[in-house]
Amino acid sequence: MLKTKKFWIIASFICVLVIMGTLLKSSSQTYDEQSLVPVMDKILANKPFEGLLSHVSFVYANDEVSIAHLGYSKFLEFFIRKGAHFVTYFLMGASLFAGMYLWRKKKLWAFLVALLVPLLFAASDEIHQHFTGGRTPLVQDVILDFCGATVGALLCFWILRHFEKRKTNQTA
The string of pLDDT tens digits covering residues 93-134 is: 999 999 999 999 899 999 999 999 999 999 999 999 989 888
- E strand or H helix at 60, and its extent? strand 57-60
Q: How many structural domains does the chain have?
A: 1
In a domain, 16, yes or no: yes
Q: Could you tell me the residue range of the domain that residue 118 belongs to?
A: 5-35+84-171
- Please report, as a single letter, which amino acid is at residue 44: L
Q: Is residue 152 part of a domain?
A: yes
163 domain-assigned: yes
Instruction: Determine the pLDDT at residue 57.
Output: 97
Task: With respect to residue 66, please indicate whether it lies within any of the assigned structural domains.
Answer: no
Asked whether residue 71 is domain-assigned, the answer is: no
Q: Determine the pLDDT at residue 10.
A: 94
The answer to whether residue 14 sits within a structural domain is yes
Instruction: Judge contact between 152 and 97, C-beta under 8 A.
Output: yes
Q: How many CA atoms lie within 13 A of 72 on its CB side?
A: 16
Q: In whole angstroms, give the CA distance from residue 158 to residue 67.
A: 38
pLDDT, position 3? 75
The reply to whether 45 falls in a domain is: no
For residue 133, give the 3-state DSSP assignment: coil
Residue 93 covered by a domain: yes
In the predicted model, is pLDDT for residue 1 greater than 60?
no
pTM over 0.85: yes
Q: What is the mean pLDDT of residues 132-142?
A: 92
Mean per-residue pLDDT over the chain, rounded: 93
| CA nearest to 138, candidates 45, 52, 65 | 65
